[in-house]
Amino acid sequence: MDKLIITAALTGAEVTRSQQPALPITPEEIGTAAAECAQAGASIVHVHARHPDGSPTQDKEVYRQIIAAVRARCDVIVQVSTGGAVGMTPQERLAPVTLLPEMATLSMGSVNFGGDVFMNHPTDMEVFALAMREHGVKPELEIFDSGMLSTATRWLKKGLLEGPAHFDLVLGIPGGMAATAEALMYLRAQLPSGSSWTAAGIGAAQLPIGALAIVLGGHVRVGFEDNVYYRKGELASSNAQLVARIARLSRELDRAVATPDEARVLLGIKPRR
């Protein structure tokens, strides 16, 4: 079994300081949180940008500052979001890819997202995929339900995406697939041959879905974007606390945790130095 790749989703676009006082917002705070997560065992940090007032932004210059702040402190893989926030234009969402990060997310369809609709028109998705290929950015294919996985499989067969693909199976958002063992096992069984995958459980599902991914040979995403609690009724003190728990659990199960360079090899990423 490959070593475990842990992704820390540090900030997201929706969580507020009132919900999680330790939420990193500024580039310097995000850089510090990334270094703490790297020390705890993360090899990828998934980043969203915020304005100083905490509102979400896809401003390329803010992302530039975030990437610089992370790289000044540690050597983790920086994975930018092209999801942005609900209501942003495709052009806004795509802007950080031009900064040549090592990875970026690519959502494989539209989904009801609580009371909103997260729109991903097929034409826009193709533009995103082409831009990532042109800039040498490894896409992480975001899957919120089984239809998105079917779309990704078709695109791989047509050559719109390059294999081997890496997937993020996101379970538990209102409107997407439930965060159950059955849902994870179903998606895992449908993955194209040779793919790698990460599981992200939302809210209280973060720990059980992560534990299941460890034993099934997948990888794990944790962090404040998906869950702000360490256990029921107890806020996590930091993103790093959530990373450290998954790293500790994986080692207890005799599965070693990947370093950033080992993760690059597993994902086929050439480091940008």
Average pLDDT along the chain = 96
- Report whether pLDDT(273) > 60: no
Both tokens of 158, joined, read: 């047509």
Q: Identify the pLDDT of residue 217.
A: 97
Q: Identify the pLDDT of residue 128.
A: 97
For 194-219, the pLDDT digits (tens) are: 999 999 999 999 999 999 999 999 99
Which has the closest alpha carbon to 260: 104, 138, 77? 77
For 125-159, the pLDDT digits (tens) are: 999 999 999 999 999 999 999 999 999 999 999 99
DSSP strand pairing (6-9 vs 219-222): parallel
Q: Are 165 and 192 in contact (CB under 8 A)?
A: yes
Q: Is the pTM of the predicted complex or chain greater than 0.85?
A: yes
Name the percent of the chain lying above pLDDT 90: 93
Which has the closest alpha carbon to 29: 44, 7, 14, 10? 10
* Spatial CB neighbours of 32, under 8 Å, sequence gap ≥ 6: 24, 69, 73
Which has the closest alpha carbon to 204: 182, 184, 230? 230
Q: Give CA–CA dist 124/130, Å, rounded.
A: 10
Average pLDDT of the residues in 101-117: 92
Q: Identify the pLDDT of residue 77.
A: 98
Average pLDDT of the residues in 243-258: 98
Q: CB atoms < 10 A from the CB of 53, how many?
A: 6
Domains of the chain, each with CATH number or no CATH: 6-267 (3.20.20.70)
Average pLDDT of the residues in 82-97: 89
Average pLDDT of the residues in 80-89: 87
Q: Are 58 and 48 in contact (CB under 8 A)?
A: no
- Report whether pLDDT(272) > 80: no
Both tokens of 273, joined, read: 């130095």
- Report whether pLDDT(43) > 90: yes
Helix (H), strand (E), coil (C) string for the chain = CCCECEEEECCCCCCCCCCCCCCCCCHHHHHHHHHHHHHHCCCEEEECEECCCCCEECCHHHHHHHHHHHHCCCCCEEEECCCCCCCCCHHHHHHHHHHCCCEEEEECCCEEECCEEECCCHHHHHHHHHHHHHCCCEEEEEECCHHHHHHHHHHHHHCCCCCCCEEEEEECCECECCCCHHHHHHHHHHCCCCCEEEEEECHHHHHHHHHHHHHHCCEEEECCCCCCEEECCEECCCHHHHHHHHHHHHHHCCCCECCHHHHHHHHCCCCCC
Average pLDDT of the residues in 173-188: 97
Q: How many CA atoms lie within 13 A of 179 on its CB side?
A: 22
Average pLDDT of the residues in 3-25: 97
